[in-house]
Structure 1
Amino acid sequence: MKKIITIIVLLFGSATLQGQIAIKAETIYTVSGSPIKNGIVLVKDGKIENVGKGLTIPEGYKIFETKVLSPGLIDAKTLVGISGSLNIPTDQDQLDKTSPIQPELRAIDAYNPEENLVKVVRDYGITTIHTGHGVGALVSGQTMIAKTKAGTVETVIIHPLSMLAMTLGPSVSSNFTSPGTKAKQIAMIRTEFIKAQFYQKKQSDSDTSKRPAADLKMDVLVKLLKGEIKALITANSSNDIMGAIRLAKEFNFKLVINGAAEAYRLIPEIKAAKAEIVLHATMARNGGDMVNMNRESAAILTAAGIPVSIESGFEAYVPKTRIILFEAGQAMAHGLSFDEALKTITLNPARLLGIEKRVGSIERGKDADLVLYDGDPFEYLTKVCVVIIDGVVVKEGCK
C-alpha cells in the first residue's frame, strides 16, 4: 500500500509568520537520543525551539504532519557545487592539473550554490555538504562546508576552510608525469611539509625584517601543521592508508582518511593513529585501488569503535553524484543498525566537521534543518516530502 504523507497547513490571522513552524510526526529520530513517538518539533527564527511529546503549538505556526522526521542529512565529502551536472570542462572545477600540489586553491572561489546538483541533493534531504577540491592530486586544494539552500557563497557558507584535500594512490600518477610511484608521492609531500616547517619558524622570528614574504601555499600548510585544519587524505589500499598514517605521525597533523576501502584490514593502526574515517559510497564499484572494498565496512568499523561518515564522493559520469540516503541504507542492509546508519549521514559527519553544535541532530537551539518522509527513510519506496533549512521550507511535495 502506498504510503501517504498528510501536510496540513493551518493559518491563524492574515498570514503565517515566516519561520514559525510546527511538525507533528509519528516518529521523530532525534539521533542524539531515543526516537520520539507521536512527537512535535517547534521551529522559530531558523532554530529548533522545542522538541517532545504533548507540546502546545502557538498560534500562527504553520503545521506539517508526517510519518517520519529526521535531522537534515550531511554529506561528509562531495564535489557538488564544484563539479557540475553538465559534465563539460566549464563546470568541472574540482581538479586543476597544472601542478600536483596546490594547497592554495580555495573551494569558495569555485563553489556555485546555484548549480543544479545542489538542488538535486537538497531534494533528497541533504541540507549540509562538505565539498571542495577533489581526488587525483597530491594536494588538490581546500574544502568548505555549506548549506544547500539557494543564495550566494557568502550566505550559504558555514566554514570557508574546513580541510586540505589530498590523495595517495594510482589516480595521482595517472594525472601527472611526476610523481610516478608511491615512494615519489610521499617524498614530494614530505618535502613540502618540511618547507612549511621552516617557513613557520621564520615567520615567528622576533625580527620582522627577517620574516619571509607571505606565501599562500605555505600559509595553508602551516595551518595544517598547527592543527587549525585537518588533512583529508583519500587513500583506499592498505598500503596508501599506512602511508597517510605515517605522514600524520611524522608531522603531527589531524588525519581524516577518505575512501578507506581497505580500512577494515587496519583497525588497530587506525585507532592508534586516532584517524577519522569518511567511507566510500557503499554501492561504489570494486575496481582499481578499491578492488578490495567491503560492503560491510561501515558495520565492521562501527563495531570496532571507529565512527564512520558515509560520503557521496565523486562520479566521473552523469549524474555526477550519489545520494547518501541510499548509500546509508545499503550500509544498513550490510550489517549496520538503523540508528548507526542514520548517524553516518547526520551526527557523525557533524562531529567530524566540528559543526555538531549547529546541526546533526534534533535538539533545542540547533539550526532548524529537518527532513519529513512518508515512511521509513531507508525503505526504497519512501519519499522525501518536505525539506527545511534554517527554518525555511526549501522543498515541499512528495514527487
Structure 2
Amino acid sequence: MTGYWLVAASALALAPAAHAQDIAVKGEEIHTMAGPVIRDGVVVIDDGRIVAVGPATTTPIPEGFTVVEAKVVTPGLVDARTVVGLAGYLNQPHDQDQLDESAPLQPQLRAIDAYNPQEALVAWLRGFGVTTIHTGHGPGALISGQTMIAKTVGNTADAAVIVEQAMVAANLGPSALAESGKAPGTRAKQMAMLRQALISAKQSDAAKPASGKKDGDKTDADTPPGLETKVMRDVLAGKLPLLVTALRAQDIMSALRLKQEFGIDLVLDGAAEAYLLTDAIKAAGVKVILHPPMMRQYGEFENASFTTGAVLRQAGIPFAYQSSYESYVPKTRVVLFEAAVAAANGLSWNDALASVTIDAARIIGVGDRVGSLEIGKDGDVALFDGDPFEYTSHAVGVVIDGKILSAAPQ
C-alpha cells in the first residue's frame, strides 16, 4: 500500500504543468462539498474545467486522459484572508509590502501592484493543498489598501489573479492607532475618519454641474475624483465590500454601526470576540472571516477561543477560516491546520472542511468558480494520502486549473 501512494506522488511530481491537461483524479474518498462523500470516485477535468464527478463505476474516463490517484480527494483549499505574496518569508523590509505607514487612509493601494507570485510562501501554502488565496494589505492602518484573489500558481501577478479588486481592508482597534499625537489616536477618531471618508465620497458622487453653466466654466463636479474617492465610491455602491478587522466586541459593534449607517457590504475579519455578539452579527447579515484558532492568545486576542467557529455555525452565521497575518516568521499560518483544530473543538469534520473550501469561496465571492468539485467549476483539486486533518497525513499534490503540480517540500 505504501508503494502505491509513492507511485501516485511521483506521478504528480514529474507531471508537466505548462498547460491545462486532460486529467482524471481518482480517490478512495472524494469530498465534493456539494453532496455526499463519493467512495471510489473520480473527477474528470478537461481543458481546466471539471466535466464529470461521480463513482468510478459509472463515470467513464475518456481515452488518453492522465490518471492520478490519492486516498482522499478534496476541492483545492481556499485561504479566505492572508497577506502572502505581499509579505515574504524573509521578514526583511524588501519583502514586506503588506503595510504602508505613510498615511492612515490609503484605500487606493492595490494588492496586485505589490503581489509577488514567486514568493516562496505561495508555493509553501500550495504544498498543503491551498489553491486559492484572498490576499492583500494587512492590519496596521485605518485603511491599509485593497485585497485580491489569486491562484497559488503563475509566474506573474496577472497570470495568478482571478479577482483584481476584491475588498478594501480597514482596521479598528489598537493595531490601527497612530502614535506621537498623530491621527487616529483613539477609537472614536478611527470611526470619525472612516465616516468622513465615506461621507466625502458620497458628496463627491452627488455633486452636479451648476445650472446655466457656460462653456469653459468649471465646477467642482468637473474635477476628476482622486483615487481614494473612487475606491470609497465603490464601497458605497456595494461594488467592493469593506473588510474590517475588528477583534474586540466594542470594535465589532462599531463596524456593525458603520454598516447600518451607510448600507455598505461589510465583512468582519478576525472577530476574536464574535461569540459574544452572535445575535447582532446575524441580525446585520454580516459574514465573518474568522481568526485562526491557534492564533496566540494575547493582546486583542486574549479572549479568542478554539470554539468560536462552532458557535458561529450553530448561530447560522456564515464564516470561513484564514491564515491571517503573522508578524514573525514563517509569516503565515496554514488553514488546513487551523480547520483541523476547529474540528477537534466543536465543529463537525465536514463543516471544518467547508470553512476552508466552499464556505471560504462564497464569502470572498468566488463560490461560482472554486471551493467545491462540481461540473463547470475550475479544475482545482487537493490530493491527500490520508485524512487531511490528521497530522500524519500529507498533501501529495494539487491540480490547479487542470495543471498537475507537485506538493512543495514541507
TM-score interval, normalised by the smaller of the two chains? over 0.9
- Asked if 2 retains the 8 angstrom alpha-carbon contact of 1:325 and 1:378, the reply is yes
- Residue of structure 1 equivalent to 2:24: 22
- Residue of structure 2 equivalent to 1:252: 263
Distance 1:398 1:156, change over 3 A: closer
Unpaired runs of 5+ in structure 1?
A: 11-16
Distance 1:383 1:238 in 2: 37
TM-score (norm 1): 0.94
Deviates more, 1:348-357 or 1:79-88: 348-357
Shift of 1:150: 2.2
TM-score (norm 2): 0.92
Match status 1:270 vs 2:281 = yes
Shift of 1:308: 1.3
Distance 1:336 1:205 in 2: 59
Output the amino acid matched with 1:98. S
- Residue of structure 2 equivalent to 1:14: none
Distance 1:66 1:203 in 2: 62
Equivalences for residues 284-299 of structure 1 within 5 A: 284-299=295-310
Return the match for 1:222 from 220, 228, 233. 233
Distance 2:376 2:148 in 1: 23
- Residue of structure 2 equivalent to 1:317: 328
Distance 1:287 1:305 in 2: 28
Distance 1:40 1:205 in 2: 65
Equivalences for residues 132-147 of structure 1 within 5 A: 132-147=136-151
Distance 1:283 1:270, change over 3 A: same
Unpaired runs of 5+ in structure 2?
A: 13-18
Distance 1:70 1:204, change over 3 A: farther
Return the match for 2:165 from 155, 161, 182. 161
Distance 1:251 1:152, change over 3 A: same
Distance 1:148 1:103 in 2: 25
What does the per-residue CA deviation read over 1:175-232, in whole Å, with 9 as the maximum and x for residues that have no partner? Answer: 6732111111111111111111111111688979532323100000000000001000
Return the match for 1:41 from 35, 40, 43. 43
Percent identical pairs in the alignment equals 47
Shift of 1:3: 9.7
Give the aligned length. 393
Three-state SS of the structure 2 residue aligned to 1:142 is strand
- Asked if 2 retains the 8 angstrom alpha-carbon contact of 1:245 and 1:273, the reply is yes
What does the per-residue CA deviation read over 1:246-271, in whole Å, with 9 as the maximum and x for residues that have no partner? Answer: 11111110110100000000011001
Distance 2:191 2:279 in 1: 22
Greater RCO, CA 8 A, separation 6+: 2
Three-state SS of the structure 2 residue aligned to 1:382 is coil
- Asked if 1 retains the 8 angstrom alpha-carbon contact of 2:28 and 2:72, the reply is yes
Match status 1:390 vs 2:401 = yes
Distance 2:294 2:121 in 1: 19
- Asked if 1 retains the 8 angstrom alpha-carbon contact of 2:142 and 2:177, the reply is no
- Residue of structure 2 equivalent to 1:328: 339
Output the amino acid matched with 1:286. Q
- Residue of structure 2 equivalent to 1:113: 117
Deviates more, 1:372-381 or 1:175-184: 175-184
